[in-house]
Amino acid sequence: MAFAATAALLFPMQAGAISFIRDAEIEATITGYVTPIFEVAGLDPSAVHVYIINDDSINAFVAGGMNVFIYTGLLMRAEHPGQLIGVVAHETGHIAGGHLARREEALRQATIEAMVACILGVGAAAASGNAGAAAGCALGQHIGEQFLLAFTRGQEASADQAGLKFLDETHQSARGLMEFLTILWRKESVLLGQQDPYTRTHPLTQARIDYVTEHVAHSPYSDVPDKPEFVAQFKRMRAKLIGYLQPTARVLQQYPESDKSLEARYARAIAYCCAEKRIADKLLQAAALIDGLIREHPDDPYFQELKGESLFQNGQVRPSLPFYEAAVKSVPDSPLLRFELARAEIETEDPVLAKKATAELQEVIRQEPQNGDAWHQLSISYGRDGQLAMAALALAEEAASHSSSRAARKACKDQAGRAMKGLPVGSPAYLRAQDLETTCDRNDNSD
C-alpha cells in the first residue's frame, strides 16, 4: 500500500508507542503552507521536515530544530487551510523566539533523532509485503507527552505575537488562528484528562484569545481569503486521510456516491482499493474512479501514484511501474515517490530493474540519510546485483539509523566488518564501513 511506504499505513495506536504516517502529497501540501511562514521568520525552508502523527487528538508541535509534527486529528478537524496555517505560524513563533533552544535539554536531541529515524522507517512493513502491519514506533516513555514542549503562558503570548506578524508579512488572514484558539477555549471546561494535548502543552488564556481577536479586527489582511490552490490541496489532503484512516462506511457518509467532486471521488477510490479494507466487489469501481481522475488530470503525480499502488497491492507489480515512473517524473525531488518506484522494481525480481532500484534508493538516502527502510531495500537491490559487500554496508547503515538499541549497534558492527572484507581497502565505501564499525563500537562500549 502506497500510503505506507511513501504514502500511509493503516495501523493501530500501540501502548507506549507513537504511530506515524508518511505521504508524499500531504507532506508536500503542508510544506507549501509553511514555507512562506519560515521565510519571513528568517528560517531556512529547505531545512523544514514535516511529520504526521496518526492520532485523533488535535495537536501540533515543533521540536529538534525544523521538525514540524502535526496530528491527523488536527488535519481532519480543521475546516480550512487558514486554521492549519495559523497554528504553524504560532509554532514558528516558538522557534523564532528561541523557546525550543531553552527547552531542548528537557526534550533531549537524541529522542528527536530516534523519533525521526523511526518515522523514516515506517515503510518497512509495506515494503516487505505486510500491508496493514503495525508501524508504531516503540519509543515508549521517551516520547511521552511529558517530553513535548510545555510552554509558559508568556512564551505562548510571545509566539502568538510573532505568528501574527508572520501572517501579516505573508498577507494571510489570522482568522484561522483565532478560530482555532476559540475552538480549544470552548474545550477548557472539559476535564483535564480529556483535553486535547495542545491545550496541555500550549496553555490557553482569555488574554491570548482577546489579543488575537483584536489583531484580526485591525489587520488589513483579515478578510483575505485562503489561496484557491491551498483550498484545493486542503480538500484533497483531508479526503485522502479520511479515505485511508476511516471505515469505508464512514467514508461514504462524508463522501457519498452522489458527490462527484474531485476530493469525494479521491476518498472513495482510496477506501475501495487500498489498505486492509479492500473490498473485492469495489475494486473495479475503484479502478474506474482512479482512471477517471487520471483522464481529467493526466499530469497529476499523486493520481498516478494511487494507480500504481492499486496495481501493486493487487499483485500486478510490473504493470504498476509506468504509473510510479510517471509520478517520479513529475516530482523528481520526492524521496517517497522514488522509494515506491524502487520497491516495485525490486519486487519484480528482475536484475535489470534491481540496478534501476539501486539508483533510485541512492537518491532517497541522499535526501534522507536516516531512512533505515531505504537502506534495507538498497541492501536487497545490491544483493540481487551480486554486490554483496555493498549490501552488507547498506545493512550496517540501516542498523546505524537505529543505533539507540544495543542489538542495532551489534548488527551495525557485524555488517560493517563483513562489508570491509569485500571492499577495496581505502575506497570510499571501505572507509565508510570502517567509520560505522568504529562509531557503533564506541557507542556500544559507552553504555
Residue 149's pLDDT is: 47
Q: What is the mean pLDDT of residues 94-107?
A: 62
Residue 388's pLDDT is: 96
Residue 132's pLDDT is: 33
> Is the separation of the CB atoms in 1 and 275 below 8 Å?
yes
**pLDDT tens for each residue of 190-229:** 545 455 665 555 666 788 889 999 999 999 999 999 999 9
**pLDDT tens for each residue of 327-365:** 999 999 999 999 999 999 999 999 999 999 999 999 999
Residue 31's pLDDT is: 92
Joined grid coordinates for residue 237 = 489532503
Work out the percent of the chain whose per-residue pLDDT is above 90: 57
Residue 105's pLDDT is: 47
Query: Is the model more confident about 296 or about 142?
Result: 296
pLDDT at 80 over 50: yes
Q: What is the mean pLDDT of residues 104-123?
A: 52
**pLDDT tens for each residue of 381-408:** 999 999 999 999 999 999 998 766 788 8
Q: Tell me the CATH architecture of domain 2-218.
A: 2-Layer Sandwich (3.30)
Query: Is the model more confident about 216 or about 44?
Result: 216
Query: Is the model more confident about 121 or about 173?
Result: 173
Rounded-to-integer distance, Cα 75 and Cα 216, Å:
23
Structural domain spans, the chain: 2-218, 401-441
Q: Which amino acid is at 352?
A: V
Rounded-to-integer distance, Cα 184 and Cα 155, Å:
18
Residue 152's pLDDT is: 66
Q: Euclidean distance between the first and final Cα of the chain, in Å?
A: 38
Residue with cell 551489534: 410
**Among the listed residues 110, 205, 190, 109, the one whose alpha carbon sits nearest the alpha carbon of residue 155:** 205
Residue 100's pLDDT is: 61
**pLDDT tens for each residue of 141-193:** 344 444 444 556 677 888 899 999 999 999 999 999 999 888 877 766 554 54
**pLDDT tens for each residue of 241-250:** 999 999 888 9
pLDDT at 59 over 60: yes
